[in-house]
Structure 1
Amino acid sequence: MLLSWIAGLGTGLVFLHFVQKLLFPYFWDDFWFLLKVVNYGIHMEVYKRRGRLDTVLEKFLRHAKRQPQKPFLIHEGQSYTYQDVDKRSNRVAQVFLSHSSLQKGDVVALLMSNEPDFVHVWFGLAKLGCVVAFLNTNVRANSLLHCVCTCEPRALVVGADLLGTVEEILASLPKDVSVWGMEDSVPQGVISLKQKLSTASDEPVSPSHHAVSSLKSICLYIFTSGTTGLPKAAVISQLQVLKGSAGLWAFGCTEDDVIYITLPLYHSSGALLGICGCVALGATCVLKKKFSASQFWNDCNKYNVTVFQYIGELCRYLCKQPKREGEKCHQVRLAVGNGLRSDVWIQFLDRYGDIKMCEFYGATEGNICFMNHTGKIGSVGRTNFFYKLFFSFDLIKYDFQNDEPMRNEQNWCSRVKKGEPGLLVSRVNKKNPFFGYAGSYRHTKNKLLFDVFKKGDVYFNTGDLMIQDHENFLYFWDRIGDTFRWKGENVATTEVADVIGTLDFIQETNVYGVAVPGYEGKAGMASIILKPNKSLNLEKVYEQVVTSLPSYACPRFLRIQEKMETTGTFKLQKFQLMEEGFNPLKISDPLYLMDNLKKSYVPLTQELYEQIILGEIKL
């Protein structure tokens, strides 16, 4: 009797297992991942109820005590232990405490490349309770001045290699902003932080300086090219930093991992997921000043790298490298990032071995994220019933012609069907707040949609079109409207148009992104109308964009039109132009290609077009 009962139970379990695999193949993957996320939330709540707010800085200080001699940063062959970084950041805090009037809550802007002192200054200022604003090192001139003024800092700290960039705007900076340089010899009007650090004490400052009363308090400003205009300073709370720091752990990284970061630290991926992620784990980070495809695997082998961060372009560059023996001989087991195309994903794994690619989705200022914990090729993440209990989001119908969400006769938005592209919007509430941007509230308001499905509801507009398939995997489809992505950076089309529009022979400029085979994102293209009786000066257009814009924002193509179509809401029509692309056989308007050797734009012939398509000309 007992044996038959056991046999029946076994048969039933086998049957249930078969049904689960057939109907719910990702049940256990989802279950264990969700359990991990819930456990993290419980851990945070326990600390909170004990009257302690466990920030990333607090985690770092604990590691500095528990494992002082463990390497934290490795840069250009030099190792910096947790104790080294703790003491160096103490010196930064002591300098500003003694030689400035900085107070808790004051903003300090940081313009530095990927180097250990970026972390030292960041952590040192955090120990004083300052809000640190990360400035994009590619931004120059008026755009840089705008960024500095937007976050209203009391001080600006500049890396040695960027002092020349700041010198261009030094006279225009607000008088109450003190400028500090990480160099012994600095321009007039700049204070040498490097000299003062050499004599500063490495004793810790009082913890009262950095004590946090709420996880919703501002920790950082990270600049992002939003949907319109110049870069905006996204408000990053202590809570967002904590959530970002949990990414590596959620994907399975441990304290024993060595994590290779080549992404810029002024972005949330490098700073929050990367540096803060290493702190959360107590792991070691290999920090590279700039990504190098030719040195990548040599560095991985040299430093015993087990995890690296990527954007899709990075993996594509690695796949373009000449093949060599032993390419699968490395210790890398995980790669964490976003923007990886399916074809590059497959090619990368085939060439470099069994590396788990951990794709995720998340905007710097957003209140929604997805993580592809199953490794499904091409997907940015998964959703299910349980996920939507924690993160309320929807994919809504979008009007591409008028460049706005569709609304029905009752003025409500509509959800798309599975398999159809829709605009990703995320519900804003107490559980998932949107902290917005520094400065005018209109910047924050422009990223929100009101009365979406019912009166009074508020949603964060990601500006991204996504597709959800029938297995509940999510896929990135495109960006909308006035933003496109190129070289791993967001490009605000209005900023580019404003720069070109200052030329005296330009009447109107319409900037958009066009797809180029073999490239991630979209290349910039500017459609231009000339003023009456004015001629086009291609050298001046080239000079204007390269001196005023980051290299990734410079339009690769120009199109000269006689008139421009507008949408029903009088916006410049982009959709049709994007569809037409840059093929000279299909477009009768004059087309031009950016030529860095000739320092000008040159006529885009059919021969040049074919060379671009074949990858013989690099954009």
Structure 2
Amino acid sequence: MLLSWLTGFGAGLLFLHFLQKLLFPYFWDDLWFLLKVVRYGIQMEIYKLRGELVTVLDKFLSHARRQPQKAFLIYEGDVYTYEDVDKRSNRVAHAFLDHSSLKRGDVVALLMSNEPDFIHVWFGLAKLGCVVAFLNSNIRFDSLLHCICTCEPTAVVVGGDLLGSIEEILPSLPKHISVWGMKDSVPQGVVSLKEKLSLASDEPVPTSHHVTSSLKSTCLYIFTSGTTGLPKAAVISQLQVLKGSFGLWAFGCTADDIIYITLPLYHSSGALLGIGGCIELGATCVLKKKFSASQFWNDCKKYNVTVFQYIGELCRYLCKQPQREGEKDHRVRLAVGNGMSSDVWRQFLDRFGNIKMCEFYGATEGNICFMNHTGKIGSVGRANFFYKLFFAFELITYDFQKDEPMRDDEGWCHHVKTGEPGLLISRVHTKNPFFGYAGSYRHTKSKLLFDVFKKGDVYFNTGDLMVQDHENFLYFWDRIGDTFRWKGENVATTEVADVIGRLDFVQEANVYGVPVPGYEGKAGMASIILKPNKSLDLEKMYCQVVTSLPAYACPRFLRIQDKMETTGTFKLKKMQLVEEGFHPLKISDPLYFMDNLKKSYIPLTKEIYNQIMLEELKL
């Protein structure tokens, strides 16, 4: 009797297991991931109940006390322990206390490449309770001046290798802004921070300088290319930094991991997910000044790297490298990043071994993120019943001709059908706030949608089109509006058009992105109307864009038109131009290609076009 009962019970369990696999194949993956999220949330609530508002800086200081001799940073072969970084950042704090009038709440802009001093200065200023604004190290001239003025800093700290960029705009900087250079010999008008550090104390700074009264208080500004105009300073709260630092742990990283960061620290991925994630774990970070495809795997082997951060373009570059022996001979077990296309994903795994690719989605300033915890190739994450309990997001229909969300006669938006691309929006409320941007409220308001499904509701507009399949996996489809991605960076088309429009022979410029084989994102292209009785100066055009724009924002292609079509609201039409691309045999307008060797734009011939399409010509 007992035997038959046990047999029946076992058969029942097998049947239920089979049924679960058939009908709910991701149930356990979803549940375990949810439990991790809940566990983290409970930990945050316990801190609150105790009256402790623990920040990422507090967690770093805790590690520096508990494991002072553990390696925190490895940079170009040099090892910086948790204690080393703590003491060096103390020196930064004391240097400013002794030689400046910096006070709690002041903003300090940081213009530095990937190097240990980026973190030393960041943490040192944080220990004083300052808000640190990360400046993109690629920008120059008007863009750099705009970014500095936008965040209204009291001081700017500049890396030794970037002093030339700040020197170009020094006369235009507001007089109240002091400039500090991380070099012994600095230009006139710049204070040598390096010299001050050599004399500064490394004793701890009183915690009263940085203790926070609210996790919603601002601690960083990170610049992002919005849908219009020059870069905007996204407000990053202590809470957002904590959430960002949670990512590596959520994907399964531990304190024993060695994490390789080649992404720029001025972006949220490198700083919050990367450095913040290492601090959350108490792990070790290998920091690279700049990504190198040829040195990548050698570095991984040399430093026993187990986890690395990526963007899709990075992995594509690795796959394009000449094959070598022993490419699977490494200790990397996991990679965390975004922007990986399905074809590169499969190729990467086939070539470099069984590495778990942890794709995620999230905007720097956004209040929504997805994490692909199942490893589904091509997906940025998965929506399920559990997820919807915590994050209210929707995919709504989008009018591509009007370039805006589609609304019915009553003014309401509608959900897209499963499998159709829709605009990703996320509900804004007290527990899921949107902190917006520094400066005018109009910048913040421009990213919000009001009265979407009912009167009074507010949603954050991500500007991204997503597709959700029948299994609730989400896939990135495209960007909308006046931005596109190239070389892992967002490009604001209006900023590029403004730079081109300053040329005396240009009447109007319409900038957009076009897909190019072998590259993630889209390459920049500018459609231009010349002023009457003016001729096109291709060398002057080249000089204008390379000196005023970061390399990734320079248009690779030009198209000269007689007229441009506009929408009913007088916005320049782009869709048809994007679809037509840069094919010289299909487009009768003159086309030009950016030639960096000749330092000019040159006619886009059929031969050049074919080389680009066959991936023989590097852009």
In the TM superposition, residue 5 of structure 1 has moved relative to its aligned partner by 2.1
Matches for 1:320-339 after TM superposition, within 5 Å: 320-339=320-339
Q: Which amino acid aligns with 2:41?
A: G
2:544 matched residue in structure 1: 544
Q: Which amino acid aligns with 2:582?
A: F
2:467 matched residue in structure 1: 467
Q: Which amino acid aligns with 1:518?
A: G
In the TM superposition, residue 40 of structure 1 has moved relative to its aligned partner by 0.2
Q: Deviations over 1:489-512 (max 9, x none)?
A: 000000000000001111110000
The 1-side partners of 2:600 and 2:540 are apart by 8
In the TM superposition, residue 3 of structure 1 has moved relative to its aligned partner by 2.3
Q: Structure 1 segments of 4 or more deviating over 6 A?
A: none
In the TM superposition, residue 2 of structure 1 has moved relative to its aligned partner by 2.5
1:528 matched residue in structure 2: 528
In the TM superposition, residue 607 of structure 1 has moved relative to its aligned partner by 1.0
In the TM superposition, residue 39 of structure 1 has moved relative to its aligned partner by 0.4
Q: Which amino acid aligns with 1:547?
A: T
In the TM superposition, residue 10 of structure 1 has moved relative to its aligned partner by 1.2
2:447 matched residue in structure 1: 447
1:98 matched residue in structure 2: 98
Q: Deviations over 1:240-286 (max 9, x none)?
A: 00000000000000000000000000000000000010000000000
Between 1:261-270 and 1:3-12, the stretch displaced more is: 3-12
The 2-side partners of 1:57 and 1:124 are apart by 10
Q: Which amino acid aligns with 2:611?
A: Q
Q: Please state if 1:260 is matched with 2:260.
A: yes
The 1-side partners of 2:208 and 2:8 are apart by 65
Structure 1: runs of 5+ lacking an equivalent? none
The 1-side partners of 2:518 and 2:212 are apart by 47
Report SS of the residue matched to 1:17.
Answer: helix
Q: Which amino acid aligns with 2:319?
A: C
2:80 matched residue in structure 1: 80
The 2-side partners of 1:585 and 1:478 are apart by 27
1:239 matched residue in structure 2: 239
The 1-side partners of 2:561 and 2:388 are apart by 47
The 1-side partners of 2:263 and 2:207 are apart by 31
1:378 matched residue in structure 2: 378
Q: Deviations over 1:279-316 (max 9, x none)?
A: 00000000000000000000000000000000001000
In the TM superposition, residue 585 of structure 1 has moved relative to its aligned partner by 1.4
The 1-side partners of 2:529 and 2:297 are apart by 47
In the TM superposition, residue 54 of structure 1 has moved relative to its aligned partner by 1.1
In the TM superposition, residue 70 of structure 1 has moved relative to its aligned partner by 0.2
The 1-side partners of 2:478 and 2:493 are apart by 15
Q: Which amino acid aligns with 2:383?
A: T
The 1-side partners of 2:388 and 2:544 are apart by 47
2:130 matched residue in structure 1: 130
TM-score of the two chains, using structure 2 as the length reference: 1.00
Q: Deviations over 1:517-551 (max 9, x none)?
A: 11100000000001111111111111000000000
1:309 matched residue in structure 2: 309
1:456 matched residue in structure 2: 456
Report SS of the residue matched to 1:169.
Answer: helix
Q: Please state if 1:437 is matched with 2:450.
A: no
Q: Please state if 1:55 is matched with 2:55.
A: yes
The 2-side partners of 1:377 and 1:412 are apart by 34
Identical aligned residues as a percent: 84
1:107 matched residue in structure 2: 107
1:502 matched residue in structure 2: 502
Q: Which amino acid aligns with 2:328?
A: K
Aligned-residue CA RMSD (Å): 0.6
In the TM superposition, residue 586 of structure 1 has moved relative to its aligned partner by 1.2
1:591 matched residue in structure 2: 591
1:553 matched residue in structure 2: 553
TM-score of the two chains, using structure 1 as the length reference: 1.00
2:225 matched residue in structure 1: 225
Report SS of the residue matched to 2:191.
Answer: strand
Q: Deviations over 1:304-344 (max 9, x none)?
A: 00000000010000001111100000000000000011100
2:65 matched residue in structure 1: 65
The 2-side partners of 1:142 and 1:314 are apart by 29
Q: Which amino acid aligns with 2:483?
A: T
Q: Which amino acid aligns with 2:193?
A: L
Report SS of the residue matched to 2:567.
Answer: coil
Report SS of the residue matched to 1:30.
Answer: helix
The 1-side partners of 2:514 and 2:431 are apart by 37
Q: Please state if 1:25 is matched with 2:56.
A: no
The 1-side partners of 2:265 and 2:536 are apart by 39
1:612 matched residue in structure 2: 612
The 1-side partners of 2:168 and 2:34 are apart by 50
Matches for 1:154-193 after TM superposition, within 5 Å: 154-193=154-193
1:39 matched residue in structure 2: 39
Q: Please state if 1:406 is matched with 2:445.
A: no
Structure 2: runs of 5+ lacking an equivalent? none
The number of equivalent residue pairs is 619
